[in-house]
């Protein structure tokens, strides 16, 4: 979950590396470092903290036109300068940055130590630098004696070192003796090469490259790349050649600045109306009373043949899956289930070849979800992606799917991506339901109501109601209970997750009907209970749950449909515009996003970079 950036070309490398790290900081912000080739020596700077702390340690006139850099989210080893990347070999002539996990770390470390290597850090990543050096300098012992023709060869030294590793990696390696190249490799952790005019870039996320180029090559698992100023050459780790597949990045991936907003999270909350329009535009077709997702490439006959739908995600993506599964099963009458990706593939799942699975992920790089995709394919199942990032690992692994078109989401806490994931799953629901159970009148009404949602989101955000009163309710709470029924149960879970992520307030989310089977024991005088209760077919059931909470002294915050008299039961009532009950999650989630943002602000939290979290979880 770390960020990697690299550069080789004609310009000073350090400013490009630092700007790339700033754009990648959402991937990790425990520490940061860079290495630049300066007069035949590696100039290395590392600092605990943010990229800004590193930038202050780098001379403004730092020479060098080749370098690599890294921003870290700690896995192995504490947050210390010694554990920050880049890591050097004993000679100080080889530098490595690494994202991923070396699973056989203990055995390799023990063996290297027995051969005389002295480690400077606690990390698994340092092992890679020492392994490369053993081959490059001809230091490997015993059965690993290095052939003479391998010594001094940077590419083959990296290739040999990687053959010893078990685990995942995205790495970049530079050699003081070779000012004309950077060696990169990927296995389970994303890397993107950017192609410029007389310069070449490397990053773990294409977003870091858009200030410099939109022509990119996405490395595949098991590939090794040699970057030079004139371009890139790629091979398989076994040496087999690979043809370059150059992609052009979409225009909206250049829009990654805060603008007039104090935080990315607030900006992205307010971008939801336009993001939703981008997601549904050209796909929802009221005239035909249906939707069309061309990326799925499913004929009506194939849609009718689907026996079951599985939706797989983690965190916010999983909550979007819960909404999608409910809509699919109730409207299309196809059994549907949301699955937590980190559990799915370890359950030895039974995969029906007539089922259809969706892997849902904003980044398209979530390791647990990618693992589930591979398990489904291994067992003969069909799986498609619902992702935001074009060319991401899940998108490429699935081959078919839906891009949600949220544009870049820089805050760690996801907001607009949740809404667009839900919207994309609604589009599939309509397409599937029209092929099976839904008549044209109902289909047209669904399509027209979905088209109205972006304007309703805009309307709510222009007048969000008494969010500050809701914030005051939760600031000193020992625990906040979120309740909802049906579709609103998933919204309750998402609201609780946001408040925990951004404000660090302990929260529990439960289906409202289950509250009396355990969580009711937490209620005491003044306990905040946030209830999502739009005007839907479960509203009266939810009213009873509210009364149960009030009878035990809880303070009730109610997210409800404007004009509904259920607001009389609340201490704080926040209305949202009226819509079809199917689309209420796209509106009722908005006050909860604002609550998390404002509560985090009031508590002095780091809104866009919450502690211990990273945006793209690329390790298991």
> Residue 470 has what pLDDT?
97
Confidence of residue 210 (pLDDT cuts 50, 70, 90): confident
Confidence of residue 26 (pLDDT cuts 50, 70, 90): confident
> Residue 259 has what pLDDT?
79
Q: Taking Cα atoms as reference points, which of 131, 94, 100, 190 lies closest to residue 396?
A: 190
Rg of the chain over Cα atoms, rounded to whole angstroms, equals 26
Across 477-499, average pLDDT:
97
Q: Taking Cα atoms as reference points, which of 502, 532, 501 lies closest to residue 322?
A: 532
Fold category of 3-249 in CATH: 3.60.20
Rounded to the nearest integer, the mean pLDDT of the chain is 92
Would you list the domain boundaries of the chain? 3-249, 264-462, 467-602
Q: Taking Cα atoms as reference points, which of 453, 395, 457 lies closest to residue 426?
A: 453
- DSSP assigned state of 328: I
> Residue 249 has what pLDDT?
79
- Residue 541 is a catalytic residue: no
Strand spans (E) along 75-230: 87-88, 94-102, 167-175, 182-187, 192-195, 200-203, 215-218, 223-228
- pLDDT tens-digit readout, 54-106: 999 999 999 999 999 999 877 778 889 999 999 999 999 999 999 988 999 99
Alpha carbons 39 and 41: distance in angstroms, whole number: 6
Across 347-352, average pLDDT:
91
- Residue 2 is a catalytic residue: yes
Across 184-200, average pLDDT:
94
> Residue 407 has what pLDDT?
86
- Selecting among 267, 498, 598, 615, the annotated active-site residue is 615
Q: Are 484 and 511 in contact (CB under 8 A)?
A: yes
Of residues 392 and 11, the one with the higher pLDDT is 11
> Residue 23 has what pLDDT?
87
Across 18-28, average pLDDT:
86
Report the CATH number of the 467-602 domain.
Answer: 3.40.50.10490
Confidence of residue 24 (pLDDT cuts 50, 70, 90): confident
Question: What is the torsion angle, in degrees rounded to the nearest 10, for the CA atoms of residue 600, residue 603, residue 607 and residue 612?
Answer: -100
> Residue 7 has what pLDDT?
98
Q: How far is CA 264 from CA 257, 259, 313, in A?
A: 8, 9, 23
On the question of pLDDT at 618 being above 60, the answer is no
Across 323-337, average pLDDT:
97
> Residue 269 has what pLDDT?
98
Across 529-549, average pLDDT:
93
- Selecting among 2, 314, 507, 549, the annotated active-site residue is 2
On the question of pLDDT at 255 being above 60, the answer is no
Of residues 267 and 390, the one with the higher pLDDT is 267
Topology alike, domains 3-249 and 467-602: no
On the question of pLDDT at 510 being above 80, the answer is yes
> Residue 2 has what pLDDT?
82
Report the CATH number of the 264-462 domain.
Answer: 3.40.50.10490
Of residues 479 and 73, the one with the higher pLDDT is 479
E strand or H helix that includes residue 558: strand 555-561
- DSSP assigned state of 241: B
> Residue 615 has what pLDDT?
67
Express as a percent the part of the chain with pLDDT over 70. 96
Confidence of residue 366 (pLDDT cuts 50, 70, 90): confident
- pLDDT tens-digit readout, 135-156: 999 876 444 666 666 678 999 9
- pLDDT tens-digit readout, 404-444: 999 888 899 999 999 999 999 999 999 999 999 999 999 99
Q: How far is CA 91 from CA 133, 361, 569, in A?
A: 8, 42, 71
14-28, 187-201, 296-310, 320-334: least confidently modelled range: 14-28
CA angle 218, 367, 278 (to 5 degrees): 65
Confidence of residue 251 (pLDDT cuts 50, 70, 90): low
On the question of pLDDT at 253 being above 70, the answer is no
255-264, 293-302, 367-376, 433-442: least confidently modelled range: 255-264
Across 217-246, average pLDDT:
92
What are the structure tokens assigned to 528, written together? 């905040």
On the question of pLDDT at 619 being above 70, the answer is no
């Amino acid at each position: 979950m770390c960020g990697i950036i690299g550069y080789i070309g004609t310009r000073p490398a350090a400013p490009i590396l630092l700007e790339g790290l700033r754009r990648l900081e959402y991937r990790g912000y425990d520490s940061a470092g860079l290495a630049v080739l300066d007069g035949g020596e590696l100039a290395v700077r590392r600092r605990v903290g943010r990229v800004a702390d590193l930038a202050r340690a780098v001379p403004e006139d730092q020479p060098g036109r080749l370098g690599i850099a890294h921003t870290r989210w700690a896995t192995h080893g504490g947050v210390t300068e010694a554990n920050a990347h880049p890591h050097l070999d004993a000679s100080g002539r080889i530098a490595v940055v690494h994202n991923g996990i070396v699973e056989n770390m203990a055995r390799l470390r023990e063996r290297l130590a027995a051969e005389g290597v002295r480690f400077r850090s606690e990390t698994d990543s340092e092992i890679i630098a020492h392994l490369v050096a053993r081959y490059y300098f001809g230091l490997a012992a015993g059965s690993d004696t290095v052939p003479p023709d391998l010594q001094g060869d940077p590419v083959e030294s990296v290739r040999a070192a990687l053959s010893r590793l078990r685990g995942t990696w995205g790495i970049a390696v530079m050699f003081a003796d070779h000012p004309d190249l950077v060696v990169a490799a990927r296995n389970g952790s994303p890397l993107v090469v950017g192609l410029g005019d007389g310069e070449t870039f490397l990053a773990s996320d294409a977003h870091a490259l858009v200030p410099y180029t939109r022509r990119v090559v996405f490395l595949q698992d098991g590939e090794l790349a040699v970057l030079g100023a004139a371009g890139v050459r790629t091979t398989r780790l076994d040496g087999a050649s690979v043809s370059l597949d150059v992609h052009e990045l979409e225009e909206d991936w250049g829009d990654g600045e805060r603008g007039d907003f104090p935080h990315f999270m607030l900006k992205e909350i307010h971008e939801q109306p336009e993001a939703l329009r981008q997601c549904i535009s050209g796909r929802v077709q009221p005239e035909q009373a249906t939707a069309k997702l061309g990326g799925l490439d499913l004929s009506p006959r194939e849609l009718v043949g689907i026996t079951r739908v599985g939706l797989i995600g983690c965190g916010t993506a999983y909550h979007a899956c819960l909404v999608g599964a409910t809509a699919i099963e109730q409207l299309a009458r196809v059994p549907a289930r949301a699955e937590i990706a980190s559990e799915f593939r370890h359950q030895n799942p039974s995969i029906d070849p007539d089922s259809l699975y969706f892997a849902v992920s904003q980044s398209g790089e979530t390791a647990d979800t990618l693992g589930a995709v591979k398990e489904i394919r291994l067992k003969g199942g069909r799986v498609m992606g619902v992702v935001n990032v074009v060319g991401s690992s899940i998108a490429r692994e699935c081959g078919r799917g839906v891009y949600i078109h949220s544009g870049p989401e820089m805050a760690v806490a996801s907001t607009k991506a949740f809404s667009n994931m839900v919207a994309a799953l609604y589009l599939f629901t309509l397409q599937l339901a029209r092929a099976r159970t839904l008549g044209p009148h109902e289909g047209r009404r669904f399509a027209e109501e979905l088209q109205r949602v972006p304007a309703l989101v805009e309307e709510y955000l222009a007048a969000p109601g008494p969010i500050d009163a809701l914030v005051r309710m939760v600031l000193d709470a020992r625990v906040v209970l979120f309740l909802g029924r049906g579709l609103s149960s998933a919204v309750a879970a998402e609201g609780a997750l946001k408040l925990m992520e951004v404000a660090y307030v302990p929260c529990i989310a439960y289906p409202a009907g289950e509250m009396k089977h355990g969580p009711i024991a937490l209620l005491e005088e003044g306990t905040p209970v946030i209830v999502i209760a739009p005007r839907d077919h479960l509203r009266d059931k939810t009213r009873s749950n509210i009364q149960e909470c009030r009878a035990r002294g809880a303070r009730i915050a109610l997210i409800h449909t404007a004009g509904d008299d259920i607001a009389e039961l609340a201490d704080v009532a926040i209305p949202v515009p009226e819509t079809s009950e199917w689309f209420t999650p796209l509106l009722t989630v908005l006050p909860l996003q604002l609550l998390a943002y404002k509560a985090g602000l009031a508590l002095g939290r780091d809104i866009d970079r919450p502690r211990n979290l990273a945006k793209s979880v690329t390790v298991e």
